[in-house]
């Protein structure tokens, strides 16, 4: 796990290390980033007879597919959910003989801690704290953001979010709700559970893209039963266990999802180069050269950048003006997720409150995971997204975990002494990611998102942030495939 001290020490060591004189290495294509997208592109290009070199700044492959090994077993702290519609991911898992297992993350009943009070969703409509109006009053506080985002979603096709016909919807969720006359409290509650960075800093078109793609994923296997449809699942963590082609609605990889990028890297062999932090890219219309922090140099006919724009914007890029791609690199924001993974004794049996809850405080959400036995140890997570995740990233990293455990005990005194920390991950503090996923601010879809994937001279773009129709791990795999096909078309 990265720490601030560790990162500063590593950076200092790198800057003081003697430079080695490297001969410039030639390849057909240089791929920057050994996540799913970069390595999928490399595998496709190699199959077509080209020689790729994959440069990875870190000491391990996988990007945001990350598994922490803990005393209680492996825990996926990044990408982990594989839906039934993830065709490319599923194909790769089968190809590398990775065992898929049903996701075991059934969340126990949710409650809400709001303005110092515990809220029962069933009686919220008549609660004196409920100052919403009309139909808003019936929406549980924790669901306000997702329900109102869904209510106004006009998109039908997976790529409609990029359709200029919806250009007037490239606005914030706050603006959307104000346009529709929603109450001040409904907007306040929506801000607590808004998808993305915040109610003001994420385009609703970006929110609708995720929702539209998620609806397709849920259709694989047929409609949910009435009981499933009525559950409160504020961030889509519902899991259906009926089998379709041998798969439940969501699968994980037995042993940890890091096994997939590890298998891809093993397949690529010495084409993958670790600890190669790219510092400069020089572009022409016919070739490109790359320089790394350790002094190594590479030259190729093409480049595929498959790293987050949060990292690429710190690379010196020379060449012709970059157009929409250059704008995206400089301006695209990234959302964050920070999670504390725990094992807890069922303290809710003592205090009588709902096991899981969301709050209007710094803790965000507490997810209690069903152990299917009722008593005994349960897995649990404190989950911070949006503004809560941004705020927690500003705290002293050495104090974050104790603070969160204390905050849980403050809200739920019965949890004191019954929570064991397994691991913690804050993606904004990861120096090789600086966020858990791309976002787009209001106006940025109209400004650059529709054209940002177009090549910058001979540099093409892949990665989850270049998604068009997919999401999650599948969008990473799809984008690598797309970029590889672009290169093959140009290579002739």
354-379 pLDDT, tens digit per residue, is: 999 999 999 999 999 999 999 999 99
DSSP E strands, 266-377: 272-273, 278-283, 288-292, 297-305, 316-318, 334-335, 337-344, 356-359, 365-368
pLDDT band at 228 (very low <50, low <70, confident <90, very high): very low
Residue-level pLDDT at 365: 95
Query: 112 pairs with which residues across the strands?
Result: 119, 358
pLDDT, residue 249, reads 84
Query: How many other C-beta atoms lie within 10 A of the C-beta of residue 183?
Result: 15
pTM of the model: 0.92
Q: At what angle do helices 87-95 and 259-268 cross, to 10 degrees?
A: 70
Distances (CA, A) of 458 to 54, 256, 275, 288, 491: 16, 36, 24, 7, 11
How confident is the model over 196-220, as a mean pLDDT? 90
Mean pLDDT within 393-409: 97
Which residue's structure tokens are 């800057």? 15
153-162, 233-242, 400-409: segment of lowest average pLDDT: 233-242
Find the helix or strand (DSSP H, E) in which 348 lies: helix 348-351
Residue that has been written with the tokens 């700044």 in this structure:
57
Taking residues 15-26, what's their average pLDDT? 66
Q: How confident is the model over 419-440, as a mean pLDDT? A: 95
Per the CB < 8 A criterion, the answer to whether 342 and 422 are in contact is yes
* Average pLDDT of the residues in 393-419: 97
pLDDT in tens, 87-105: 999 999 999 999 999 998 8
pLDDT for position 20: 55
Q: How far apart are CA 56 and CA 320, in angstroms?
A: 25
Q: Is the pLDDT of residue 2 over 70?
A: no
For 444-487, write each residue's pLDDT tens digit. 999 999 999 999 999 999 999 999 999 999 999 999 999 999 99
Report the C-alpha gap between 342 and 174 in whole angstroms.
Answer: 34
| Domains delineated in the chain | 19-62+258-333+441-491 (3.50.50.60), 122-226 (no CATH)
**Complete DSSP assignment for 26-41:** EEEEEEE--SHHHHHH
Place of tokens 């965000």: 364
Structure confidence at residue 178 as a pLDDT band (50, 70, 90): very high
The pLDDT assigned to 235 comes to: 60
Gap between the Cα atoms of 428 and 425, Å rounded:
9
Q: Residue 337's closest CA among 397, 386, 401?
A: 386
Residue 217's pLDDT band, with cuts at 50, 70 and 90, is confident
């Amino acid at each position: 796990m990265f720490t601030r001290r560790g990162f500063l020490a590593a950076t200092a060591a790198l800057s003081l290390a003697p430079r080695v004189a490297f001969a410039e290495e030639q390849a057909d294509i240089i791929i920057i980033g050994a996540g799913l997208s970069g390595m999928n592109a490399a595998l496709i290009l190699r199959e077509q007879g080209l020689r790729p070199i994959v440069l990875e700044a870190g000491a391990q492959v996988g990007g945001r597919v990350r598994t922490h090994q803990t005393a209680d077993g492996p825990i996926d702290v990044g990408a982990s959910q594989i839906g039934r519609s993830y065709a490319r991911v599923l194909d790769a898992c089968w190809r590398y003989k990775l065992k898929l297992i049903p996701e075991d993350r059934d969340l126990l009943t949710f409650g809400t801690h709001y303005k110092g009070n515990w809220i029962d969703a069933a009686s919220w409509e008549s609660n004196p704290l409920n100052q919403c109006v009309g139909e808003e009053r019936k929406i549980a506080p924790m669901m306000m953001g997702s329900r109102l985002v869904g209510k106004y979603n006009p998109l039908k096709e997976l790529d409609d979010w990029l359709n200029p016909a919806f250009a007037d919807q490239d606005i914030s969720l706050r603006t959307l709700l104000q346009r529709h006359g929603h109450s001040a409290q409904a907007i306040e509650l929506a801000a607590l559970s808004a998808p993305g960075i915040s109610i003001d800093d994420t385009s609703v078109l970006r929110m609708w893209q995720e929702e539209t793609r998620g609806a397709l994923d849920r259709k694989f296997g047929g409609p949910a039963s009435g009981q499933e449809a009525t559950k409160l699942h504020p961030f889509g963590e519902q899991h259906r266990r009926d089998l379709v082609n041998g798969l439940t609605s969501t699968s994980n990889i037995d042993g940890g999802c890091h096994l997939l990028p590890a298998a891809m890297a093993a397949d690529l062999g010495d084409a993958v180069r670790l600890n190669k932090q790219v510092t400069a890219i020089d572009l022409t219309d016919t070739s490109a050269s790359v320089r790394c922090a350790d002094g190594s140099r590479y030259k190729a006919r093409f480049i595929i950048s498959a790293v987050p724009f949060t990292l690429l914007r710190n690379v010196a890029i020379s060449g012709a003006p970059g157009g929409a791609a250059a704008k995206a690199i400089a301006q695209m924001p990234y959302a964050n997720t920070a999670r504390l993974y725990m094992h807890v004794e069922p303290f809710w049996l003592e205090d009588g409150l709902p096991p899981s809850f969301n709050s209007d405080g710094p803790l965000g959400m507490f997810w209690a995971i069903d152990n299917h036995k009722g008593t005994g140890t349960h897995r649990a997570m404190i989950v911070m997204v949006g503004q809560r995740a941004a705020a927690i990233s500003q705290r002293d990293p050495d104090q974050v975990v104790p603070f969160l455990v204390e905050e849980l005990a403050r809200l739920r005194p019965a949890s004191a002494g019954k929570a064991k920390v397994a691991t913690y991950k804050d993606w904004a503090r990861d120096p090789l990611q600086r966020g858990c996923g791309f976002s787009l601010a209001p106006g940025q879809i109209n400004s650059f998102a529709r054209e940002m994937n177009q090549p910058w001279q001979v540099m093409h773009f892949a990665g989850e942030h270049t998604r068009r129709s997919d999401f999650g791990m599948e969008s990473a795999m799809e984008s690598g495939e797309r970029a590889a096909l672009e290169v093959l078309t140009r290579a002739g």
